[in-house]
Amino acid sequence: MDGNGRWAKRKGLPRAVGHQRGVEAVRKLVRSVGDMGIDCLTLYAFSSENWKRPEEEVDDLMNLMRKFIKSDLPEFVANNVRLKIIGDWQGLAPDIVAMLEDALEQTAGGTHTLAVALNYGAQQEIASAAAKAAASGEVTEESIAAHLYTADLPPLDLLIRTSGEVRLSNFLLWQAAYAEMAFVDTLWPDFAPEHLQQALDDFAQRERRYGGR
**Residue numbers at the binding site for ligand IPE (CB under 6 A):** 1-6, 22, 46, 50, 61, 163, 188
Report how far residue 190's alpha carbon sits from residue 186's, in angstroms, rounded to the nearest whole number.
Answer: 6
Minimum distance, C-beta of residue 213 to ligand IPE, in the bound complex (Å): 38
Report how far residue 10's alpha carbon sits from residue 7's, in angstroms, rounded to the nearest whole number.
Answer: 5
Cβ proximity to ligand IPE: between 50 and 128 the closer is: 50
Identify any residues that bridge with 42 across adjacent strands, giving them in sequence order. 115
Cβ proximity to ligand IPE: between 167 and 209 the closer is: 167
- Set 4, 35, 39, 50: catalytic member: 50
Radius of gyration of the chain (CA): 17
CA dist 185 → 30, 32, 46, 147, 166 (Å): 21, 21, 20, 34, 10
Catalytic: 50? yes
Minimum distance, C-beta of residue 36 to ligand IPE, in the bound complex (Å): 23
* Three-class secondary structure of residue 136 per DSSP: coil
Report how far residue 174's alpha carbon sits from residue 170's, in angstroms, rounded to the nearest whole number.
Answer: 10
Binding mask 1-40 for Mg ion (x = CB under 5 A): -x--------------------------------------
Let me know: does 188 contact 2? Beta carbons within 8 Å: yes
Residue 87 binds which of Mg ion, ligand IPE, none (CB < 5-8 A, kind-dependent): none
- The sign one gets for the Cα dihedral 170, 179, 185, 187 is negative
* Three-class secondary structure of residue 114 per DSSP: strand
Closest residue by beta carbon to ligand IPE: 5
Q: How many residues bind Mg ion (CB under 5 A)?
A: 1
Report how far residue 54's alpha carbon sits from residue 154's, in angstroms, rounded to the nearest whole number.
Answer: 35
Residue 1 binds which of Mg ion, ligand IPE, none (CB < 5-8 A, kind-dependent): ligand IPE
Minimum distance, C-beta of residue 165 to ligand IPE, in the bound complex (Å): 7
Tell me which residues in 153-192 interact with Mg ion (CB under 5 A): none
Catalytic: 4? no
Cβ proximity to ligand IPE: between 1 and 172 the closer is: 1
Let me know: does 133 contact 139? Beta carbons within 8 Å: yes
Minimum distance, C-beta of residue 9 to ligand IPE, in the bound complex (Å): 7
Minimum distance, C-beta of residue 8 to Mg ion, in the bound complex (Å): 12
Residues that bind Mg ion (CB under 5 A): 2
Residues with a catalytic annotation lie at 2, 50
